Amino acid sequence: QVQLQQSGPGLVKPSQTLSLTCAISGDSVSSKSAAWSWIRQSPSRGLEWLGRTYYRSKWYNEYALSVKSRITINPDTSKNQFSLRLNSVTPEDTAVYYCARGQGWVDVWGQGTTVTVSS
């Protein structure tokens, strides 16, 4: 059974960097049939896909246009996990952040991390 365990701070100051990690058990971040995404949810923006990383003989990253200039998603094969970094955050980035597995659709979700951007 595949499980995703998220970790990271729940409070980030404006203009700083939001960093979250998602540890994978029961699958591999290097799987050639999976993709690893970050998705967030807020009352104002609903569910919003932020981006994904996946391996198909080489690593690929795809990012949502809304955050493309500020986001980095990195795989860590040594720890079988992947991470999210979102730079220059504002209160608009306050949301519940989920990591997720899915190539065509999301079939496994992390538990969610509530991140508040506030001074």
Partner 1 sequence: QSVLTQPPSASGTPGQRVSISCSGSSPNIGSDYVHWYQQLPGTAPKVLIYRNNQRPSGVSDRFSGSKSGTSASLAISGLRSEDEAEYYCAAWDASLSGWLFGGGTRLTVL
Residues near 119 by beta carbon (within 8 Å), at least 6 away in sequence: 13, 14
Measured from the CB of residue 78, what is the shortest distance to partner 1 in angstroms?
27
Copy the structure tokens of residue 7.
């970790």
Which of 16/64 has CB closer to partner 1?
A: 64
**Among 60, 48, 65, which residue's Cα sits nearest to residue 103?**
60
CA–CA separation, 79 and 24 (whole Å): 9
Which of 104/119 has CB closer to partner 1?
A: 104
Residues that bind partner 1 (CB under 8 A): 37, 39, 46-49, 51, 62-65, 98, 104-107, 109-112
Measured from the CB of residue 83, what is the shortest distance to partner 1 in angstroms?
19
Which of 55/97 has CB closer to partner 1?
A: 97
Going 13 to 17 to 22 to 23, the CA torsion angle's sign is: negative
Measured from the CB of residue 85, what is the shortest distance to partner 1 in angstroms?
18
Measured from the CB of residue 58, what is the shortest distance to partner 1 in angstroms?
18
Which of 15/66 has CB closer to partner 1?
A: 66
**Among 15, 20, 18, 17, which residue's Cα sits nearest to residue 110?**
20
